[in-house]
Structures are given as C-alpha cells and as structure tokens.
Amino acid sequence: MPIQILMPALSPTMEEGTLAKWLVKEGDQVNSGDILAEIETDKATMEFEAVDEGIIGAILIAEGSDGVKVNTPIAVLLEDGEAMTDVVAEVAAPVVAEIEKPAATAKPAEIAPPLEDVPEGTTFKSQTVREALRDAMSEEMRLNDDVFLMGEEVAQYQGAYKVSQGMLDEFGARRVIDTPITEHGFTGIAIGAAFTGLRPIVEFMTFNFAMQAIDQIINSAAKTRYMSGGQMGAPIVFRGVNGAASRVGAQHSHDYASWYAQVPGLKVCMPYSAADAKGLLKSAIRDENPVIFLENEILYGRAFDVPEIDDFTVPIGKAKIWRTGDDVTIVSFGIGMQYALEAADRLAEEGISAEVIDLRSLRPLDSETVVKSVMKTNRCVTVEEGFPVCSIGSHISAILMQQAFDYLDAPVINCTGKDVPMPYAANLEKLALITTDEVVDAVKSVTYR
C-alpha cells in the first residue's frame, strides 16, 4: 500500500503551518531520515524527515502553501513495485481540492479595541500578539539604549516562541542576550543591572521556570524600593508565557496571575488582545517599577486589530470594557477573555445582555470599573484559567462584597481552572480548563434563567 505522508504537528499548539519548501521531487527515492521538506510553524522553520523508505509518488501540496492543517496528506510514498496508478483516486484528490484555497484558513482580525484608547480616525492593522510584543520591545529599544532583552534562546534561536524574531539582527548581541539555563542567576543579574538604572526585559521561556527565580523577583526586585526608602528600585520587565498551552502537563501549565498580583512592589499585566499586549508592554518597559507581564502561548498566534499610531501605549491599571450589557458583568483577563466573549455572544442569542470587562492589569487592579459595572448589572461572573483558591476572581468577589454588597442580586460565581495539577491526557486536560459552556451556565445561574 502506498504511504500517505501527513502534515506533521511540530509544536504543542500547532494546528496548521506553511509548507515552505520541498527538498524532494516526484520520482525521488527517499530513505528514512532524509529531509523531505521545510515546514514553517508560527514559531520556527523546521526540517521534516522521512520515516519510511520508498519513492515519492506524488506531491499533493505545492511548496509555498499556507495554512496546511496538521494531518493533511502532503505527499504519497510508493513502496517497491508500486506505481501512482495503483493509488486509488480518493486518497489524493479531495485533499488537493481542499488545500487549493488557503485564503480561507487565514484568521480574520478580531474585534477592534474600543475607541477610548485611541484617537478618532485611527487606522488599524491586523497583527498577531507575537508580532505586537516584538514591536513593543523593538520600538522601546530604538528609543532608549538602556533597554535590553535577556533570556534563554532570545537571540540566535530567535526566541523559543519566536517573539524576539529579528531582534538580534537589529540590536546586536550587546542588547539581545542569550543566557545559560539559569533562571535564578540571570534574574538576579538583570535585577542588579536594574538597580543601576538600566531597564532589562527578562524573558522567561515560561513562567513555570520563573519559579526558580521567584526569590529574586519578590525579595530583590519588588521590595528594594521600599527597603531603601526610595533610593533605588528595579525598572525591569519579566515577561513570558504563562498558563496552559496544550498537552504540556502539570509543570508547564501553571497560571501565576494571582501569585504575583498578591505582592506589593510589583505591577502585573496579563493582556488578551495584540493591541493591549503592545500598548501595555511599552508602558511596562517605561515603568520605574518591576512589572510581571504574563503572556499566553495560544494567544501568540491570534491576530487582532492594532492601532497604527506612533507610540501607542496602554496605561497599566486600567480595565477595558469590550462590550457593554445590562444583565450581568463578566470579568476576565488574558485567555479567559476568549471564553468570556464567546459566552457573551451565545448569551446574546438567548436574550441575555452581558457586559464584558478585560482587566488587562491585575496589579494595580481597576476595581472601580468592575464595581461601577456591577452596580449597573447587579450580577457578576469572573473567568480565569488559574486555580480557584485565592484566585483573582475570589479577590474580585471580596471587593464586590465590600463595595457593592447592596447592589448584588446573586452571589458572584468564579469560573476558574479546576483544583487539580494539569493532566496530560487530552480529555482530562479539557476537563481541567474552563470552557465557554461553564461561563454560559454561570451567567444563567446568576441571572436565574
């Protein structure tokens, strides 16, 4: 039987990729281990090797095709004595038809940010969160020589998640610095440099690894301004992926939002959209205080409208109302916003009008916007991916009890990740994370529908 060669998944979150280049042609003999093609994911360009031996009978996807879904047949490998004529038509034909329209797989830009952040008449461009973060860093590095980027694989590798792609070329090795795998050590070095007034951006490959460095982040970066009576502090940004990606298990999926939000001396941002990622990161780099900047791997490849403004910034500590509504306030941040917004769409179809607030910053936290909204809607559901105990949602519930008790017509419900270490199995992982259904159900519960 001819063997179908399938489009491979080359990262935990890869769903599709670009077949950049074929290195074999039809009729070529290939052996296992031979490089067949170069495949570009959103993170990197990778070589794809043959597993089986045989002759390339047909190339089903032309090189340069975008948006090729994982597991799509991309070529047919013939074993000894087989010919393409032996291949039944249905193996190849329908697939080719599907792939001939790559435009359909390009993701449309999502909702534009509300106009409050930008002047009227602003034009927008569609940009991924990944690109927006890179632009924010690059723009700030062009403006200020004191800003530099340090972390594992940020330079020559072009970023473990490709966020710093191209930055080494532009800024050189003095300012885009690859470190050994020593989070505790390089975090301390960066904070020491910040004590002297430099403005380091420290990239953690993931915030899970920042646990190795959390003493330096808390005890050295967050507390020094206070302990020195204001003489010195650390104008530094700690950024990187946070929370669950896809199937990476308990040690790579932790959401640290509520951990860092608890610490005086730190600021904490956790943006959802590309525009907020860009604007908040620029503000964070300019901030005189240590800022924890929590990103999300799944959101990296998501495109949003980003304002085409020179020097677009978003203030730290200000929430954004994504949609207005009367019946319930849904408060979320980071990737939780995806569920909040999907739920609001579905609830609208059922006649429930939800106001959706993106906190964007967790410290300082814009409780005023939340309280004001709940005074209007009288109901609140919080949505986040982290654990339920001492969550951002439980803090918001406490604020609402203290500041809007008489306005509440129902107990606040916190939709969170489940109270378990993240499992690996696909079905269990799905169960451990929040879902749009859970948000919809929570809203129905607080609105007594």
Partner 1 sequence: MPPAKKAAKRKLPNVSGEELLKHYREMLLIRRFEEKAGQLYGMGLIGGFCHLYIGQEAVVVGLEAAAEEGDQRITSYRDHGHMLACGMDPKGVMAELTGRAGGYSRGKGGSMHMFSSEKNFFGGHGIVAAQVPLGAGLAFANQYRGNDRVSFAYFGDGAANQGQIYEAMNMASLWKLPCIFVIENNQYAMGTSLQRASSTPDLYTRGQAFAIPGEAVDGMDVLAVKAAGEKAVAHCRSGEGPYILEMNTYRYRGHSMSDPAKYRTREEVQKIKDEKDPIDHIREMLTQGKHATDDDLKAIDKEIKKTVSEAADFATNSPEPALEELYTDIYA
229 lies in the site for partner 1, by CB under 8 A: yes
156 lies in the site for partner 1, by CB under 8 A: no
189 lies in the site for partner 1, by CB under 8 A: yes
Q: How far is CA 369 from CA 21, 121, 182, 320, 355, in A?
A: 51, 26, 40, 8, 11
Candidate list 29, 31, 71, 219; residue touching partner 1; CB under 8 A: 219
Six-digit token string for 395: 């803090």
Q: Would you say 101 or 174 has its CB closer to partner 1?
A: 174
Candidate list 21, 69, 184, 444; residue touching partner 1; CB under 8 A: 184
The answer for residues whose C-beta is within 8 angstroms of residue 115's C-beta and 6 or more apart is none
Angle in degrees, CA 81, 83, 87, rounded to 5: 125
186 lies in the site for partner 1, by CB under 8 A: yes
Q: Would you say 71 or 144 has its CB closer to partner 1?
A: 144
259 lies in the site for partner 1, by CB under 8 A: no
- Report CA 203 to chain centroid distance, whole Å: 14
159 lies in the site for partner 1, by CB under 8 A: no
Q: Minimum distance between the CB of residue 187 and partner 1, rounded to whole angstroms?
A: 7
Mark the segment that binds partner 1 (CB under 8 A) among 55-63, 128-136, 190-198, 439-447. 190-198
Active-site position among 139, 140, 152, 252? 252
Q: Would you say 187 or 296 has its CB closer to partner 1?
A: 187
Candidate list 230, 349, 405, 427; residue touching partner 1; CB under 8 A: 230
Q: Is 183 a catalytic residue?
A: yes
102 lies in the site for partner 1, by CB under 8 A: no
302 lies in the site for partner 1, by CB under 8 A: no
Mark the segment that binds partner 1 (CB under 8 A) among 129-137, 211-219, 352-360, 411-419. 211-219
Candidate list 18, 72, 179, 377; residue touching partner 1; CB under 8 A: 179
226 lies in the site for partner 1, by CB under 8 A: yes
Comparing C-alpha atoms, which of 232, 144, 168 is closest to residue 194?
A: 232
Q: 439 near 383, Cβ under 8 Å?
A: yes
Mark the segment that binds partner 1 (CB under 8 A) among 66-74, 123-131, 187-195, 342-350. 187-195
Candidate list 77, 194, 347, 362; residue touching partner 1; CB under 8 A: 194
Q: Is 252 a catalytic residue?
A: yes
Candidate list 52, 100, 170, 288; residue touching partner 1; CB under 8 A: 288
Q: Would you say 112 or 211 has its CB closer to partner 1?
A: 211
Mark the segment that binds partner 1 (CB under 8 A) among 128-136, 273-281, 282-290, 300-308. 282-290
Q: Would you say 49 or 178 has its CB closer to partner 1?
A: 178
Q: How far apart are CA 415 and CA 220, in angstroms?
A: 34
Candidate list 190, 328, 344, 446; residue touching partner 1; CB under 8 A: 190
Q: Would you say 7 or 141 has its CB closer to partner 1?
A: 141
3-state secondary structure 13-74: CCCEEEEEEECCCCCCEECCCCEEEEEECCCCEEEEECCCCEEEEEECCCCCEEEEECCCEE
Q: Minimum distance between the CB of residue 196 and partner 1, rounded to whole angstroms?
A: 4
233 lies in the site for partner 1, by CB under 8 A: yes
Candidate list 4, 220, 296, 436; residue touching partner 1; CB under 8 A: 220
Residues binding partner 1 (CB under 8 A): 148, 174, 179-180, 182, 184-198, 215-216, 219-220, 224-233, 235, 264-265, 267, 287-289
Residues designated catalytic: 183, 252
